[in-house]
Amino acid sequence: MNSRFLIHNAIIINEGKVFPGYLTVENGLIADIGEGTCNSIPFFSDNSYNIIDADQAYLIPGGIDDQVHFREPGLTHKADIYSESRAAVAGGITSFMDMPNTVPQTITNELLMDKHKIAAETSLANFSFFPGATNNNIKELLAADPSIIPGVKVFLGASTGNMLVDQDEALEAIFRDLPHLIAIHSEYEPVIQANLAHYKAFYGDDIPISMHPLIRSTEACFHSTQKAVALAKKFGSRLHVLHLSTADELGLFDDTALSAQKRITAEACVHHLWFDNSSYDRLGSLIKWNPAIKTAADREALLRGVAGNLIDIVATDHAPHTLEEKSKAYNQCPSGAPAIQHSLLLMFELSLQGHFPLETVVQKMCHNVALCFGIEKRGYLRKGYHADLVLVHPAKEWTIEKKDLHYKCGWSPWEGENLHSKVTHTFVNGNLVYCEGVFNETIKGKALKYNGNK
């Protein structure tokens, strides 16, 4: 198949600029990028190029999601790397970082490489995997190859697939000794358990889902994040706080633009930017996530954090479960939901609503992820970079419906939402893997490489 492409008549969004332009792809890499039309250059008469008229669609770097749960191995009745990477590229996400709470848990380097083997054979998107910390596996983490891992995942609160690190000695050793980026799920378990006992005493086993943000409360989040930030400052650790959910936590972060010198960074997830606690009445346990979706004031603060520099990255925490599992009573209902197929377009929608410009969407879902984790030659439209590319047409209005979902679990909390833009083309490593609803599954994604600048 011809791997040379010319994309023209596009509106390019890249590195804080929006301009009409064109881009060429050769041998999997971006060969040229320019402003204006390319009518005067010889590509149109050169049959060696596949020519794509973007029709004034936005051309952006492929999205990079730093927090997904693709459930393989061990939980593949919910999802697997093939199905969820397919959903990812349909939504313009070309690279992902998968979390360790699978079965078995990814807490050794051997198990980490087992995941790499699965992804190399099945993933349509580029991939990497976090090893997970426990109270006693720091030697294994120290032996991890920094060129293939985005960092180490530490659960400071128990969540699906409990990997809680709850011993102070172990936690101090992680922050003191690990050279890797430390990515944390930040909730304080004693506060959660006390809240749970309180509401269980009142409601018994029939706790309403609306109590979820009171059980996994602002206090639980703030206490944990404050402790992690203090440890990072004490030891000079490279800390990345995943899925912030409260306005209070934002005060713990530095409102400066992301750079290689910024040691403590933060992420928001699209569900915390889209929903608030009034949404539980309509969607119930379908939007039960950990940390919990909280108040409208928290949501507005997070949106402001994304518009500024308090929040560096926007991701999904894509975490599928079956509808049968999500229909169980509060204590038995797992937290998490699928999001990766629509996260980029939901952010475009929030931009359309006036929360931030499209340049910010590209910055927080593409550029900053590459910079934060030190990913080699991805996240930007630059000559010589891997051609991970997405065309998003701004004038294709549509509604999210079950029949169009590519998740293995077959549902989405955003079903029925009306969107005003649509992903039409997705390139991974210069290969057109998704085009107007049709997948090319003959070529798989590649393992992400990290340069250690994290």
pLDDT at 156: 84
Residue written as token pair 């204590």: 331
For 121-152, b/e burial (b = at least 16 CB within 10 A) is ebbbbbbbbbbbbbeebbebbeebeeebbbbb
CA distance 238 to 261: 10
pLDDT at 157: 62
Q: Please state which CATH number belongs to domain 62-373.
A: 3.20.20.140
The pLDDT of residue 166 is 83
- For the chain, give every domain's residue range: 5-59+381-439, 62-373
| Amino acid 403: pLDDT | 97
Point out the residues of the chain with pLDDT beneath 70: 1-2, 38-47, 157-162, 452-454
Predicted local distance difference test score (pLDDT) of residue 139:
95
Cβ(5)–Cβ(50) below 8 Å: yes
CATH code of 5-59+381-439, in short, is: 2.30.40.10
